[in-house]
C-alpha cells in the first residue's frame, strides 16, 4: 500500500510521512497537489492524506481529481480551519480537525489496508 501525504506546509507533510513510515507504511510526501498528481501518473496511490487549504489546488480538488484517476484510492482530508470543516462539500471522504494524532493516522491507514 502506498500513501500520498500532501500539505503545503513542508514541515507538516514531511513529519506526517516520517510518522507513517515509523508505522510501517510506504509513504511519499508532497508540498502541493500538482506534484502529487504528477506522481500518481507513475505510481498509483492507495490512500491520500491531504490538507484542505492549499494554494492553487485545495485538498477537495486534489481528492476529486485523484479519485477520478484512481477510483480505489481512499482519502482522508485534514484542516486546522474550523470554517472549512463546517463548509466541507458532501463527498465520499472524511475530513478531520488538525492536529491529528499519529495514532489516528496510522489507525486510518491500517483500516484502509484491511479493505484492500
Distance of alpha carbon 99 from alpha carbon 88, whole angstroms: 17
* Phi, psi torsion values for 112, nearest 5 degrees: -65, -40
> What's the pLDDT at 87?
59
| pTM, rounded to two decimals | 0.89
Q: Measured in Å, how far apart are the chain's first and last C-alpha atoms?
A: 9
Give 27-76 pLDDT, tens digit per residue.
999 999 999 999 999 999 999 999 998 999 999 999 999 999 999 899 99
Give 73-96 pLDDT, tens digit per residue.
999 998 877 555 555 555 566 788
* Phi, psi torsion values for 68, nearest 5 degrees: -65, -40
SS3 55: coil
Distances (CA, A) of 26 to 20, 58, 61, 86, 109: 8, 24, 24, 31, 10
Domain extent listing, the chain = 2-102
CATH class of the structural domain 2-102? alpha beta
Amino acid at each position: 500500500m502506498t500513501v500520498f501525504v500532501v500539505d503545503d506546509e513542508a514541515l507538516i507533510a514531511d513529519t506526517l510521512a516520517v510518522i507513517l513510515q515509523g508505522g510501517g507504511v510506504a509513504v511519499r510526501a508532497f508540498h502541493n497537489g500538482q506534484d502529487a498528481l504528477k506522481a500518481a501518473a507513475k505510481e498509483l496511490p492507495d490512500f491520500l492524506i491531504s490538507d484542505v487549504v492549499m494554494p492553487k489546488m485545495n485538498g477537495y480538488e486534489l481528492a476529486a481529481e485523484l479519485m477520478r484517476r484512481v477510483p480505489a484510492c481512499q482519502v482522508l482530508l485534514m484542516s486546522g480551519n474550523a470554517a472549512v470543516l463546517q463548509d466541507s462539500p458532501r463527498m465520499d471522504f472524511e475530513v478531520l480537525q488538525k492536529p491529528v494524532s499519529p495514532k489516528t493516522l496510522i489507525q486510518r491507514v491500517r483500516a484502509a489496508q484491511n479493505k484492500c
